[in-house]
């Protein structure tokens, strides 16, 4: 028996996970508690939640594992600074104060925060990613690919997992990084690094890959095995605090886009070109891994694994039969990975493989309780009119409101672990309504109008709407809307003007290239949402809904009942479901929402 606490922190998306005898008891990101998006601080709230969920205290933990090795990371910083003297001196001096006072003794810092004398085990960053991908997966054997910005030295690794062991075969090391290449363009296009890469991905289908050849000629050399070499003449991240330099801007004859300024045709074309190059790299890389490992299954983690467009491209074109992505593929998932890695790889425990996976639908976070008297009193004290309903009656009310074109927040049961809202902390709407994408983007999410929304669809009906052969319970891949559901676009329309064109019979969840980031819903993982879709189908003959995360721009996904209610009242959402409470905005006194 072993109870293990895994921790990721101090870069972005801090998180904690507790596993007991290989089973995931709880996992959560710190941002959900502090309400600071991407919170990088020590995840004390996440740790306390996990301990409470496991009904234990810190003294009951057998092993505490941190998701990366601080000493090897320090080595990389020292070597990189030395190689780039004198330009690196200023950045090096700035970083050393933190390293010499805190980061070099991170294990002691963590032990102090936890008030424990237990040894803190420092694990390899990419091994943590690899473990988060392989051990929860439904495969006894699989090739493993991890891709992100950088861990200690590695930026990309691949290997193989068999039963309870992982063997890393090869790595691409800093500064050559697929993730940092993508981040450089994210910065160049005026978006925030480590937060907005998905905006670049969403923007790409509006453009043409006009600059793909230029990127490959000047910025990145791609080898036949998918390994890469960046031309550091154009990048600044080894020397300073910015990602790119003037040479990078001059290459495209364009200054870095000012955040929130108008998005131009060249911005769209650059995004499209980058996505095309990333797809090419990943296809060569995965096919090489297939040839090397002879595995039919591939599992992936690391931030680049959250590029759903690339994952869809790989599913359609790579040699692998099956591809499984860790739902919390970014650094948050490192807390899960390091715990599992220690349990299996170091303690040599037997691994039991489940038919689907061991992620429990990714519903590993705090629970919204149906009978929370404290929250009921809060609503009554604030004179909020609400109805408490059975699940069956609640579904009928939701379906009725969806038919009326209403936008509804759903906050029920355990919160999702990872960046995707999967039905427990979601905003839903009827995808058949022509202007629904614009309405949700501008009036609910307060974000860029070009951003696409994802559909949730009954697993049994998925082929009716999408060209999809596998399950997609975690919304981690794009698929194309079936030809029979597509509506041809008028000739000559391009760029953001495509937003106003109806592209399919489910226009609110169809991107301009007819792709959709699909979530398939089954009864085993997600019973309430499954029954909701069945009810919507019965009324409308449509078994598909728009699904987006329950939050507004710049804020994390809601966690508690109060979070959900506050998000509801400050947006143009029509209704909200909190546990089994149903609240309609139209039923409230005006001053409640002023």
- Of 139, 522, 143, nearest in space to 354 by CA: 139
pLDDT of residue 97: 75
Residue 592 pLDDT exceeds 70: no
Residues 560, 433, single domain; the answer is yes
Range name among 85-94, 219-228, 396-405 with the lowest pLDDT average: 85-94
Does one domain contain both 402 and 450? Answer: yes
Tell me the whole-structure pTM to 2 decimals.
0.95
How deeply is 73 buried, as exposed, middle or buried, from its count of CB atoms within 10 A (0-12, 13-18, 19+)? buried
CATH code, domain with 421: 3.90.870.20
End position of a domain, from candidates 309, 341, 360: 360
Which two three-digit tokens encode residue 530?
């499954």
Are 320 and 330 within one domain? no
Tokens of 237: 């991240």
Q: Is residue 62 part of a domain?
A: yes
Residues 330, 307 within the same domain: no
Average pLDDT score over residue span 250-273: 96
Give me the residue label for tokens 């003959």. 541
pLDDT surpasses 80 at 336: yes
In a domain, 295, yes or no: yes
Please give the residue that has the higher pLDDT: either 90 or 33: 33
Please state the rounded mean pLDDT for residues 57-81. Answer: 92
Residues 27 and 74 in one domain: yes
Residue 495 has pLDDT above 80, yes or no: no
Query: What is the C-alpha to C-alpha distance for residues 229 and 172, in angstroms, rounded to an integer?
Result: 9
* pLDDT above 80: residue 99: no
Q: State whether 302 and 336 are in the same domain.
A: no
Radius of gyration of the chain (CA): 24
In a domain, 552, yes or no: yes
Domain membership of residue 148 (yes or no) is: no
Determine if residue 473 is left, alpha or beta; phi over 0 gives left, psi from -120 to 50 gives alpha, anything else beta: alpha
Last residue of a domain, one of 324, 346, 374: 324
Q: What are phi and psi of 200, to 5 degrees?
A: -60, -45
Q: pLDDT tens-digit profile of 109-157?
A: 999 999 999 999 999 999 999 999 999 999 999 999 999 999 999 999 9
CA–CA separation, 460 and 319 (whole Å): 26
pLDDT of residue 591: 53
Domain identity same for 310 and 342: no
Looking at the fold, whether 385 and 507 belong to one and the same domain comes out as: yes
111 within a domain of the structure (yes/no): yes
Q: Does some domain include residue 161?
A: no
Same domain, 493 and 573: yes
pLDDT in tens, 160-204: 999 999 999 999 999 999 999 999 999 999 999 988 999 999 999
- Predicted pLDDT at 494: 81
Residue 421 has pLDDT above 70, yes or no: yes
293 and 353 part of one domain: no
Q: Domain limits at 38?
A: 3-138+326-360
Residue 143 in contact with residue 322, Cβ under 8 Å?
no
Give how many domains the chain has, as a whole number: 3
Residue 591: partners with Cβ closer than 8 Å, 6 or more residues away: none
Confirm whether 246 is domain-assigned. yes
Residues 397 and 342 in one domain: no
Q: What kind and span of H or E run contains 442?
A: none
pLDDT, mean of residues 268-272: 97
CATH number for the domain harbouring residue 36: 3.30.420.40
Tokens 């501008």 sit at which residue?
Answer: 442
The pLDDT of residue 593: 46
- For residue 575, CA distances in Å to 375, 430, 582 come to 17, 13, 7
Answer whether residue 389 is part of any domain: yes
| Sign of the CA dihedral with 579 first, then 585, 587, and 592 last | positive
* Final residue of a structural domain among 334, 360, 386: 360
Mean pLDDT, range 523-550, rounded to an integer:
98
Considering the domain architecture, whether residues 428 and 527 belong to the same structural domain is answered as yes
CA–CA separation, 138 vs 358, rounded Å?
8
């Amino acid at each position: 028996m072993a109870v293990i606490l895994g921790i990721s922190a101090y870069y972005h998306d801090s998180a904690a996970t507790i596993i007991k005898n290989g089973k995931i008891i709880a996992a959560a990101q710190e941002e959900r508690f502090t309400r600071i998006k991407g919170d990088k601080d020590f995840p004390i709230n996440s740790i306390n939640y996990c301990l409470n969920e496991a009904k234990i205290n810190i003294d009951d933990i057998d092993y505490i594992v941190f998701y990366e090795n601080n000493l090897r990371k320090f080595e990389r910083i020292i070597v990189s600074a030395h190689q780039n003297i004198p330009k690196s001196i200023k950045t090096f001096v700035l970083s050393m104060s933190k390293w010499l006072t805190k980061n070099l003794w991170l294990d002691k810092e963590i032990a102090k925060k936890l008030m424990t004398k237990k040894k803190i085990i420092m694990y390899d960053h990419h091994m943590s990613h690899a473990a988060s991908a392989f051990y929860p997966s439904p495969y006894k054997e699989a090739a493993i690919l991890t891709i992100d910005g950088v861990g200690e030295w590695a930026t990309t690794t691949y290997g193989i997992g068999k039963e309870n062991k992982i063997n890393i075969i090869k790595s691409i090391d800093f500064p050559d990084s697929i993730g940092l290449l993508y981040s450089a363009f994210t910065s160049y296009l005026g978006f925030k690094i480590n937060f907005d890469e998905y905006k670049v991905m969403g923007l790409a289908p509006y453009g043409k890959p006009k600059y793909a050849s230029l990127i490959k000629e000047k910025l990145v050399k791609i080898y036949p095995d998918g390994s890469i070499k960046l031309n550091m003449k154009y990048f600044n991240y080894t020397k300073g605090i910015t990602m790119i330099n003037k040479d990078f801007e001059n290459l495209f004859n364009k200054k870095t886009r000012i955040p929130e300024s108008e998005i131009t045709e060249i911005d769209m074309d650059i995004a499209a070109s980058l996505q095309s190059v990333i797809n090419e790299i990943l296809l060569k890389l995965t096919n090489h891994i297939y040839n090397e490992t002879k595995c039919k299954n591939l599992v992936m983690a690391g931030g680049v694994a959250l590029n759903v467009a690339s994952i869809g491209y790989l599913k359609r074109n790579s040699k692998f039969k099956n591809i499984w992505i860790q739902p919390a593929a970014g650094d948050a998932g490192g807390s899960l990975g390091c715990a599992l890695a220690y349990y299996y790889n170091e303690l040599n425990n037997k691994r039991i493989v489940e038919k689907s996976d061991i992620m429990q639908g990714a519903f590993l976070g705090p629970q919204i309780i149906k009978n929370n008297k404290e929250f009921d009193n809060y609503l009554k004290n604030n004179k909020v009119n609400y109805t408490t309903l059975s699940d069956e009656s609640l579904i009928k009310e939701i379906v009725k409101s969806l038919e009326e074109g209403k936008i509804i927040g759903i906050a029920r049961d355990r919160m999702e672990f990872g960046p995707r809202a999967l039905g427990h902390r979601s905003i839903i709407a009827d995808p058949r309504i022509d202007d629904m994408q614009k309405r949700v983007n501008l009036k609910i999410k307060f974000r860029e109008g070009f951003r696409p929304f994802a559909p949730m669809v009954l697993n049994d009906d998925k082929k009716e709407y999408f060209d999809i052969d596998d399950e997609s319970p975690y919304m981690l891949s794009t698929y194309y809307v079936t030809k029979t559901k597509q509506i041809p676009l008028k000739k000559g329309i391009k760029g953001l003007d495509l937003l106003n064109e109806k592209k399919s019979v489910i226009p609110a969840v169809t991107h301009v290239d007819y792709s959709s980031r699909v979530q398939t819903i089954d009864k085993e993982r997600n019973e309430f949402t499954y029954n909701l879709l069945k009810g919507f189908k019965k009324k409308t003959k449509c078994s598909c809904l728009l699904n987006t995360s329950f939050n507004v721009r710049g804020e994390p996904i809601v966690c508690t009942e109060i979070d959900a209610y506050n998000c509801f009242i400050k947006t143009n959402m029509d209704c909200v479901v909190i546990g089994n409470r149903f609240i309609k905005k139209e039923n409230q006194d005006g001053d409640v929402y002023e």
